[in-house]
């Protein structure tokens, strides 16, 4: 068929609507097959929609509109496609932006260099990542260019000078976060217990082996892998934390898929690192870095967020000294990490300065008793203050 309808695809059984937050193209543009053309926000994830074929696109809805699963949001006239492949393009001709790769588009957004202005050295004159990097190294730093008007939802307009208020529609993801937080507060018996941990041993260990770790694994050794391993050990010692309520039944989990909270422009997401009891420190660091990157780029999938048994959230990266995190249902507990601050502490009768961190464990008192919560937090503290425990499993 010469005209193809662009429909919002199924996103999962629980998702029926979403917000078409922005168009990546302009109405009437020529698009290439598999080119990202819009961004869709749902109550769980943000995803990109791509063109099923090359042609000229015509919008059916504006950016910022709420759309239903299966709704037609645009059409593509394939007979009007000007996109030609390989031999018909002169060797020196720049590649149209419509068929730029994700890496090329990313560099273009960061540098302001249009792929169409770069001579491609790839197959058929295609602009490669290397071409863009070479162009960016020669070009002067550009001043930030305003985003195309078609790509911005109307509700996100900048406030006028002197305005006392601005109003914008709450995104589906933010609405969902708000609903879940309120539901948890009403449905669970939340209680938080605190402790503090001396980070000296972990800091010293990282400093001693960081260079070798990076050379071998290609990633830095952070704090999250230590805490993830410490949490796994504590869950094994206190299995009541690794439970959840299903109606009138208590479900005890015997696996260790740990969620790691990631702050994004759209809101908080909790991608899950699977099988942390079987992963090494480097594997955990890589999994966390990859999940965080995909979450911030809007490339996270529903299956990446489902099935965690416990969550770790680190407010310390924003400077938080202490907080009471809210559990991620149906999990029964969440561990909050905070900023590392040098403080005077008493050790063996002497006052010394140590890098200290406050820990906060919020738990559902319907499932977890105070003794179990305190024991869990002490186990985490012991593992961090004596990292050899993580290797020996004690």
**Catalytic residue positions?**
365, 369
Q: Which has the closest alpha carbon to 110: 125, 132, 131? A: 132
Give the separation between CA 39 and CA 25, rounded to whole angstroms. Answer: 11
Q: Is the peptide bond before 330 cis (omega within 30 degrees of 0)?
A: yes
Q: Round the CA-based radius of gyration of the chain to a whole number and report it.
A: 25
CB atoms within 10 A of CB 186: 7
Give the separation between CA 149 and CA 263, rounded to whole angstroms. Answer: 27
Contact 195, 378 (CB under 8 A): yes
Give the separation between CA 278 and CA 228, rounded to whole angstroms. Answer: 12
Separation of first and last alpha carbons in the chain: 65
Which residue's entry shows tokens 């203050």? 385
Residue 110's Cβ-count burial label (10 Å; 0-12, 13-18, 19+) is: exposed
CB atoms within 10 A of CB 344: 9
Give the separation between CA 130 and CA 126, rounded to whole angstroms. Answer: 11
- Look up residue 191 and give its two tokens: 């209680």
Beta-carbon contacts of 309 under 8 Å, excluding residues fewer than 6 positions away, are 235, 242, 244, 253, 255, 256, 257, 258, 331
Give the separation between CA 197 and CA 248, rounded to whole angstroms. Answer: 36
261-297 burial by CB neighbour count: b if 16+ within 10 A, else e? bbbeebbebbbbbeebbebebbbbbbbbeebbebbbe
Give the separation between CA 394 and CA 383, rounded to whole angstroms. Answer: 8
């Amino acid at each position: 068929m010469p005209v193809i309808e662009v429909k919002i695809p199924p996103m999962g059984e629980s998702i029926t609507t979403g917000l078409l937050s922005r168009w990546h193209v302009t109405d009437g543009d020529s698009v290439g097959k598999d080119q990202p053309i819009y961004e869709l926000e749902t109550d769980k994830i943000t995803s990109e929609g791509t063109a099923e074929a090359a042609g000229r696109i015509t919008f059916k809805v504006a950016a910022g509109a709420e759309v239903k699963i299966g709704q037609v949001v645009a059409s593509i006239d394939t007979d009007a496609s000007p996109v030609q492949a390989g031999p018909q393009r002169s060797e020196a001709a720049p590649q149209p932006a419509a068929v730029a790769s994700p890496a090329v588009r990313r560099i273009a957004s960061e540098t302001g260099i249009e792929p169409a202005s770069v001579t491609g050295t790839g197959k058929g004159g295609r602009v490669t990542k290397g071409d863009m990097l070479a162009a960016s190294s020669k070009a002067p730093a550009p001043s930030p260019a305003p985003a195309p008007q078609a790509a911005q939802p109307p509700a996100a307009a900048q406030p006028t000078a002197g305005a006392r208020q601005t109003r914008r529609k709450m995104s589906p993801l933010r609405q969902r976060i708000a609903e879940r937080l309120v539901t948890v507060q009403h449905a669970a018996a939340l209680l938080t217990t605190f402790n503090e941990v001396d980070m000296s041993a972990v800091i010293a260990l990282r400093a001693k082996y960081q260079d070798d770790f990076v050379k071998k694994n290609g990633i830095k050794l952070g704090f999250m892998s230590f805490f993830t391993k410490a949490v796994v050990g504590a869950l094994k010692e206190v299995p009541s934390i690794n439970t959840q309520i299903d109606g009138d039944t208590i479900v005890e989990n015997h696996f260790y898929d740990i969620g790691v909270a990631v702050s994004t422009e759209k809101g908080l997401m909790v991608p899950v690192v699977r099988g942390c009891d079987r992963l090494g420190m480097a594997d955990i660091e890589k999994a966390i870095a990859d999940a965080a990157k995909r979450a911030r780029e809007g490339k996270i999938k529903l299956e990446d967020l489902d099935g965690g048994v416990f969550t770790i959230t680190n407010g310390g990266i924003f400077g938080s000294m202490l907080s009471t995190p809210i559990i991620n249902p149906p999990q029964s507990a969440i561990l909050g990490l905070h900023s590392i601050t040098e403080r005077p502490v008493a050790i063996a009768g002497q006052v010394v300065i140590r890098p200290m961190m406050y820990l906060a464990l919020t738990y559902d008192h319907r499932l977890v008793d105070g003794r179990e919560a305190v024991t869990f937090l002490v186990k985490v503290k012991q593992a961090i203050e004596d990292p050899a425990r993580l290797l020996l499993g004690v």
